[in-house]
Structures are given as C-alpha cells and as structure tokens.
Amino acid sequence: MKEEMTGRDAKRKRYLVSSGEMKRYDRNTTEHFGVPSMVLMERAALAAAEEIKKRCGGGKRVLVAAGCGNNGGDGIAVGRLLMQDGYAVEVWLAGEREKCGKETAAQLEIIEKYGCPVQSKIGDGEYDIIVDALFGIGLSRNLEGIYAQAAEEINRRDAFVCAVDIPSGIHTDTGAVMGTAVKADLTVTFAFEKLGHILYPGCQYAGEVVCRQIGITEESFLGERPKMYTGQGAACLWLPDRVAWGNKGTFGKVLVIAGSRNMSGACELCAKSAYRIGAGMVKVVTPEDNRLIIQQKVPEVLLMTYRVREDGRKMEEPEVSVQEMEDKISRAYDWADVIVIGPGTGTGEEAKLLFDWSLTKTRKPLVIDADGINLLAREEPLQRYLECHAKDGRKIVMTPHAGEFARLCGETVEEIKKEMPYRAKELADRYGCVMAVKDARTVVASCRKEELYLNTTGNDGMATAGMGDVLAGIIGGLLAQGMTAEEAAEAGVYLHGIAGDRAAGEVGRHGLMAGDVVRKLAAAPEAWEEESVRRGRMAENAVRGLAAGQEE
C-alpha cells in the first residue's frame, strides 16, 4: 500500500480518508498544484446538483441549510445551480454572515445577485428538498444551540435530504453522532469516501452515498497515502489464480482442529468453507464422538479423532498415551499446508494441549479462531511465546469477534470499540500476526504494514452462530492456496460478506444461517454480485433511505 495501487489492487481496493487526510489533500491540490479553491467548490456543487436532479426531478422547492464554512459555500452553490435549472430555492444561513469564510461569502453574494432570498432563520415553508450544508468534515464537537435545533428541524421535515460531503453532526473519523445529526437520504461526497460514511452509526445517517471526483486525486497525496482502505469489485478479483494442470495437492491441504464432544457443527462449517473456497484437501481433528456425523455431513474430509476422558483432563484413544497422540498430531502438521484451530473446541485441557502444540511445535501458517482466542487470552505463557516470536515471519491470522478481542485486550467491549481499528493494529504488532476483528465493520490489521483494511460487505443477518467458523475455513483455504496472511484475511472477509449478501438476498436477513453462506461460496465467482451489493445494502439500512434503483 505504500506504493500507488495499480493493476488488480486498484480494481479491488479503494481509499477511505479521515478528516485530517482530506483537508491535507484539498490543501495540496490548491497550494501545490494551483487549482483554485473556488474551482473545487464549483465542481463539488455541480456534482451534488446533478445527483439531486437524478433522484428528484425538476420544479421542486428547495431549502439550502448552510453554515459559515466551506461546506456552506458548497451548499449555496448547489442552490444556485438548482435555481438556474428552474427549482424554487431559498437559503438559510445558520450563523453570522461576518463569520463566513472567503469562498462562502463570495457564494452568498453571487446567489443574492441571482435573486435568491437568504434568510437568517429556518422558516415554516414547505420544501421538497433540503440541502444539508451546515457542517462538513471538520466537526469536532457536539452540535449545540441553533445548530442542534437545525438538525432536528431538518429531520422533522417531510423532504428529501441531501447532505453535502457528510451529514451534519456525524464525526468524519469515527461515524459517531455528535449529540444529534441530520438523517440524509443521499450524501454526495467528493474525491474519496470518508470513514464516517462507512462506520456505524454514521452510515445509517448518510443514506445512499455517492462519491464524485472534483479534481482531488491520488496525485494530491504527495507521498502521504491514506491509512485505511476497503474492498470493491467482483469476487474473481479476490480469489487466487488456479492452474489447469493442478491436482488436489496443488491447491493446498488444510488441517482443521475443531469441535468438542458432541459439538460437530463447527467442524462441518469450517471444513466445507475451506473446500468451497478452493482448497484441495481438508483433514479434521475432532473428538471420536463426532466421527459419524462428520463422515455423513462432509464425506470429502480426512479424519483424525481422539477420545476425551470423562474427567476432561487428558485426551487419548484406547491404549494410546498423550505422547503418542502428540506424535500423531505432529504427523498431521507435517501433512498440512495450513492449520485452523479453535472453532468449537472449548477451552478444556485437551483443547489447551492441541492449541499449545499448534503454536509451539510447527511453523506452518495458522488461523486462530474462537476458543483458540479465548485460550490465548487466559494463558499468559502462550501470549509471551507469541510475543517472543513476533518477528519470525510465521503466517498467523487471528479472527476474534468484538467480545473475544476485548478479552484479549483485557478491556470491555465498549472500551475497545471506541478505537477498534487502532487497537487491532496494536495487537497485530504485539503478536506479529494479522488481526481480523469481526464486527459490523470488520477490521484487518497486519504487523507487516501500517495501512488498515475496513470491510464493507456483509449484513446484519450474519450476526448468528457459525458465521465465524465459516470465515475461519475461508481464510484457511485461501492461505493453503498460497496467499499471504494479509491477502487471505482481506479476501476472506470480503468474500465471506459477499456470500452473506447473496444468501440474504434469497432467504432474507432474519432467517440467514451459516450454512446458507457456505452454499453461496459454491457459486461461480464470475456470477457473484459486485459493488451494487454493498450499495444496495447501505441504502436499505439507511434511517431514511430512499435510494431508487438499488438492488440487494
């Protein structure tokens, strides 16, 4: 990511920027390249006006709610362009005119010369469209006083609301609601999407988000690239290449250590997902009690089973010692290209032994999920082991959900959610691994690079049992096919989310189950839906989403 994204990466990734980054790129465009600020403002206004006209048609009554900063100038220019196209436009300036910035003051003077009324308070008139240009990306404190009243008044009106750049009251970097916020049907942003458009709850206030280019391009980075990016594009762009002459060994062997006594579902979901994403062979290590059901549900897998004593303290087969069991698992490690451990294993003594061996007795790529994370959180010697080997280059991907991640951090979920992307990076560096922290927006952080990946596929129907087992299998299968840990984690969460969106399109979000997602992994990647899936879901989830023509 330190180099400019080109080729395949450019097709499947796009940048998300913070307020500080966007301001720097705006400044670079005007100061370094010499593009006048008023030119950028006019282009932004033209883009927003075009998007409004596409959705609302002509002849409408429009109120522009403008602040004194540049965002207000953008909104006033939008109003002028709409007025010149036959719309009945009024401007409400929230704030004192003498406090307006240079460009905004100029836009006010221009629109008044065209005969548009500028009022000092929001009136009782009826409007079909409200343009929210109160605050842009620079908001750093809660909306109070007249501005809070303005946001609430806009929300009360029965009008189509278009936010310019970001809904007023949404924090650009976190998506947090700053006291109160405008609920938009459409947000037209410029140059690059902002984090607040993607993170919850901001994305629910933004409605349909459209990003338009106005002249602030990647050249404006001047070597300082954004710290975060997300995915886009067809599934086939994210899958590893396959060779026509390959065999089952060519496409990788995944060892899945999963399940506990009479708990076989995690084994099934994880193993099937590894196969469905393209792995050539899968071997499952699980208690003997699960043998029959695994053989029936996933006959393609190889099996290695063990018996657990009733006291739960040691694992063994009849007449087989723990040492002999350790020798058997060591041979399984030699066979495997990748190890996945943790789904449904529990945290008993036998699970601890298997986890300890997988961590210390092999250097094969490792995916640690679920109870593997819980064991790591409670076993300080294992944490110290990982810390000591943090720079040895082993491919390790951890896939905690927010609760497991909080246990690993020794904090509450509420605490870690405040800065989850950056906390994920801290732990990735500490353990020398890739962290894929699962939440409504999954974050992927790597010890090997500074940039963070924020996933935007998936839906709330995936908040159900077994989804993590599916993701662990997907990532394991991608690692087995030769991907790096970073590539496998990013592609895994992206493809997992797309399969979840496709499954929700058939069975609905309320009834979605992990098995539905596994079945969708089997579809031809070329047929998987692209960016429209994400756009459609965002529109559907918007508080007042009225986006026409979007598909789930």
In a domain, residue 462? The reply is: yes
> 235-249, 337-351, 386-400: which has the minimum mean pLDDT?
235-249
Q: CA angle, corner 529, sides to 513 and 217, nearest 5?
A: 125
Residues 322 and 214 in one domain: no
Q: Is residue 206 part of a domain?
A: yes
**CA separation for the pair 113, 56 (Å, rounded):** 26
The answer to whether residues 350 and 246 touch, using CB atoms and an 8 Å cutoff, is: no
CATH number, domain with residue 344: 3.40.1190.20
Give residue 186's identity as a one-letter amino acid code: L
- The pLDDT tens digits of the residues spanning 48-78 come to 999 999 999 888 999 999 999 999 999 999 9
End position of a domain, from candidates 231, 266, 284: 231
Which pLDDT band, with edges at 50, 70 and 90, does 6 fall under? low
Determine phi and psi for 484, rounding to 5 degrees: -70, 165
Mean model confidence pLDDT for the chain? 92
Q: What is the CATH number of the domain that holds 96?
A: 3.40.50.10260
Q: What is the pLDDT of residue 59?
A: 87
Mark whether 347 and 481 lie in a shared domain.
yes
* pLDDT for res 547: 37
Does 1 score more than 50 pLDDT?
Answer: no
* Across 97-106, 302-311, 361-370, least confident range: 302-311
Question: Does 514 share its domain with 480?
Answer: yes
Angle (CA) 367-474-243 rounded to 5° is 110
N-terminal to C-terminal alpha carbon distance within the chain: 31
Percent share of the chain, pLDDT over 70: 91
CA–CA gap between residue 269 and residue 30 (Å, rounded): 53
Contact 270, 472 (CB under 8 A): yes
| 538, pLDDT greater than 50 | no
The C-alpha atoms of residue 317 and residue 291 are separated, in whole angstroms, by 13
Q: Which pLDDT does position 221 carry in this prediction?
A: 98
Report the pLDDT value the prediction gives residue 550, as an integer from 0 to 100.
35
Confidence of residue 494 (pLDDT cuts 50, 70, 90): very high
Rounded alpha-carbon distances, angstroms, from residue 320 to 11, 25, 309, 314: 54, 65, 12, 11
In this structure, are strands 302-308 and 315-316 parallel, antiparallel, or unpaired?
antiparallel
Residue 85: pLDDT over 60:
yes
Q: Is residue 547 part of a domain?
A: no
Is the pLDDT assigned to residue 545 strictly greater than 60? no
pLDDT exceeds cutoff 90 at 534: no
- Residue 173, pLDDT > 50, answer yes
99 plus 66 within the same structural domain: yes
Same domain, 127 and 182: yes
Give 259-263's long-range contacts (Cβ < 8 A, gap of 24+). Answer: 259/284, 259/286, 259/287, 259/290, 259/294, 259/343, 259/344, 259/345, 260/286, 260/287, 260/344, 260/345, 260/346, 260/348, 260/351, 261/287, 261/289, 261/290, 261/308, 262/289, 262/290, 263/290, 263/344, 263/346
In a domain, 362, yes or no: yes
The confidence band for 522, taking pLDDT boundaries of 50, 70 and 90, is confident
Is position 7 within any domain?
no
**Stretch 284-303: mean pLDDT, rounded?**
96
308 shares a domain with 223: no
Same domain for 454 and 378? Answer: yes
Show contacts of 138-143: CB within 8 Å, 24+ apart: 138/19, 138/23, 138/69, 138/172, 139/168, 139/169, 139/170, 139/171, 139/172, 139/178, 140/171, 141/178, 142/178, 142/179, 143/168, 143/169, 143/178, 143/179, 143/180, 143/181
> Is 86 contained in some domain?
yes
- Residue 498 domain boundaries: 252-519
Which burial class, exposed, middle or buried, applies to 321 when counting CB atoms under 10 A from its CB (0-12, 13-18, 19+)?
exposed
Same structural domain for residues 366 and 472?
yes
Q: Which helix (H) or strand (E) holds 133?
A: strand 129-133
Residue whose structure tokens are 């409408």:
60
* 344 and 197 in a common domain: no
pLDDT in tens, 430-445: 999 999 999 999 999 9
| CB within 8 Å of 3: residues ≥ 6 apart | none
Q: Are residues 344 and 455 in the same domain?
A: yes
Cα angle 408-227-370, degrees, rounded to a multiple of 5? 25
Residue where a domain terminates, one of 179, 197, 231 = 231
Between CA 27 and CA 552 the distance in angstroms is: 38
Note the pLDDT tens digit of each residue in 464-487: 999 999 999 999 999 999 999 999
pLDDT at 537 over 90: no
Domain count, the chain: 2
Same domain, 219 and 281: no
User: What's the average model confidence in pLDDT over 117-146?
Assistant: 92
Domain ends where: 231, 264, 296?
Answer: 231
Q: Is residue 481 part of a domain?
A: yes
Indicate whether 417 belongs to any domain: yes
pTM of the entire predicted model: 0.91
428 shares a domain with 300: yes
| pLDDT exceeds 60 at position 552 | no
Cα-trace Rg, the chain? 27
The three-class DSSP label of residue 290 is helix
